[in-house]
Homo-oligomer: A and B are copies of this chain.
Amino acid sequence: MKHQAPIPVRVETSHLPEFVKEFDLIARLKATLPTHDSVLAGAGDDCAVLDLGVPHHLVLFKTDAVVEGIHFTSDAPPEKVGHKALARCLSDIAAMAGTPTHAVVTLALPTQFDTARIEAIYAGMNVLARQHGVAIVGGETTTNPERLLLSIALLGIVPRSRQVLRSGAKAGDAIFVTGTLGGSLAGRHLDFEPRLAEARWLAERFTIHAMIDLSDGLAGDLRHILDASGVGADLHGSAIPISRTAKLQAREESSAKPPLLAALTDGEDFELLFTVASRTAVPLLDAWKAQFPDVKLSCVGKITAAPGLRLRDERGLREFNLRGYEHFAS
């Protein structure tokens, strides 16, 4: 399998200073944002959770953007670009165990654009929207001279008290991840299916303590749960489900990451990462296999009271630093 030209994803180390600047900036900006009583969860979770007075339901609200040359190459099939743009938002609704309902789309077009390409982008988006009962209720077209940018805002609903935040992980919890991880940029990032049905099924049948969708990679997104919950985690390297693509890349490309590192840090997997009480782990795994026989579910570690993220491999349990490739490999 030939993978696409490298896409400058946000965690690329060559952009480290800007990347760190951006994270610091976001933290500072978040602290200044106006809020009010109706906001049960604001900036900092997968979606905002709002109480708009809908009986029995809370409203979820999310925005996300894809940019040409950043999230997709200019020769990516346009239907897949539209699919990805919406699927990313749907994945965030899934991470709250919600059901998506309505979307608006901002389409920023380069100075020269091919109408057939734009129509194909919408076709890809529309197919996925119909599949999940999402109405596309408006949009805005504007100009972004150098490259196409698609920003989508999505509404969803979740039964009251069934929303799953990032902040509920407890020491002793088992950590689960769906699917297989790593190597998504070789293709899967353009046509993944958001885990909406799986997430709702989980939240209906089990008490899910914390959940997130994997966009930054298992290690990065687990850190979001740990930070929000004030806990730490031990991961079992041998339990982490590595994608065939990541294994193949490691074998065939001298510059590829070791497969386990790819699974931990590649990003754009859009799988679900969640934690449950340890006593729930076995019944959950059994029920999952019966319900979703084609979707792998792996218990990859446990939540600890001690902060930090540790990885157990053949050399023992060691601190794992998301941006520590050299450190990890040495």
The answer to whether A142 touches B105 (Cβ under 8 A) is no
> Which residues of B lie under 8 Å from residue A137 when comparing CB positions?
33, 35, 39, 42-43, 48, 50, 61
The answer to whether A42 touches B135 (Cβ under 8 A) is yes
- Given A25-B118, A36-B135, A140-B65, verify A106-B151 contact (CB < 8 Å): yes
| Alpha-carbon distance A63/B152, docked complex (angstroms) | 9
Q: Tell yes or no: A57 within 8 A of B by CB.
A: yes
Q: Tell yes or no: A72 within 8 A of B by CB.
A: no
| Alpha-carbon distance A55/B126, docked complex (angstroms) | 30
| Alpha-carbon distance A1/B288, docked complex (angstroms) | 69
The answer to whether A32 touches B62 (Cβ under 8 A) is no
> Which residues of B lie under 8 Å from residue A243 when comparing CB positions?
none
The contact of A135 among B22, B39, B123, by CB within 8 Å, is B39
> Which residues of B lie under 8 Å from residue A118 when comparing CB positions?
25, 29
Tell me the chain A residues, 121-137 only, with Cβ under 8 Å from chain B: 122-123, 126, 129-130, 133-137
Q: Is the interface of A mostly helix, strand, loop or mixed?
A: mixed
The answer to whether B52 touches A145 (Cβ under 8 A) is no
The answer to whether B126 touches A34 (Cβ under 8 A) is yes
- Nearest-Cβ distance from residue A181 to partner chain B, whole angstroms: 22
Q: Tell yes or no: A155 within 8 A of B by CB.
A: yes
- Nearest-Cβ distance from residue A254 to partner chain B, whole angstroms: 28
Nearest opposing residue in chain B for A136, CB measure: B33
- Nearest-Cβ distance from residue A247 to partner chain B, whole angstroms: 30
> Which residues of B lie under 8 Å from residue A145 when comparing CB positions?
69-70, 146-147
The answer to whether B141 touches A22 (Cβ under 8 A) is yes
Stretch of A108-116, A169-177, A278-286, A299-307 with 4 or more beta carbons under 8 angstroms from chain B: A108-116
Nearest opposing residue in chain B for A88, CB measure: B140
The answer to whether A43 touches B149 (Cβ under 8 A) is no
Nearest opposing residue in chain B for A52, CB measure: B54
The answer to whether A52 touches B59 (Cβ under 8 A) is yes
Most chain-B CB neighbours within 10 Å: which of A102, A130, A146? A102
Q: Tell yes or no: A263 within 8 A of B by CB.
A: no
Q: Tell yes or no: A240 within 8 A of B by CB.
A: no
Q: Tell yes or no: A139 within 8 A of B by CB.
A: yes
Q: Tell yes or no: A316 within 8 A of B by CB.
A: no
- Nearest-Cβ distance from residue A290 to partner chain B, whole angstroms: 32
Q: Tell yes or no: A319 within 8 A of B by CB.
A: no
Q: Tell yes or no: A250 within 8 A of B by CB.
A: no
- Nearest-Cβ distance from residue A95 to partner chain B, whole angstroms: 13
24 residue pairs of the A-B complex, CB under 8 angstroms, read A18-B112, A22-B141, A32-B126, A33-B122, A33-B135, A33-B137, A34-B135, A35-B137, A39-B137, A43-B138, A47-B138, A53-B55, A54-B54, A63-B105, A63-B138, A63-B140, A63-B151, A63-B153, A64-B106, A67-B143, A69-B145, A70-B144, A106-B151, A140-B151
Q: A10-B143, A65-B151, A144-B147 are in contact. List 8 more A-B contacts (CB 8 A).
A: A22-B141, A29-B118, A52-B101, A53-B55, A63-B140, A65-B140, A66-B142, A104-B153
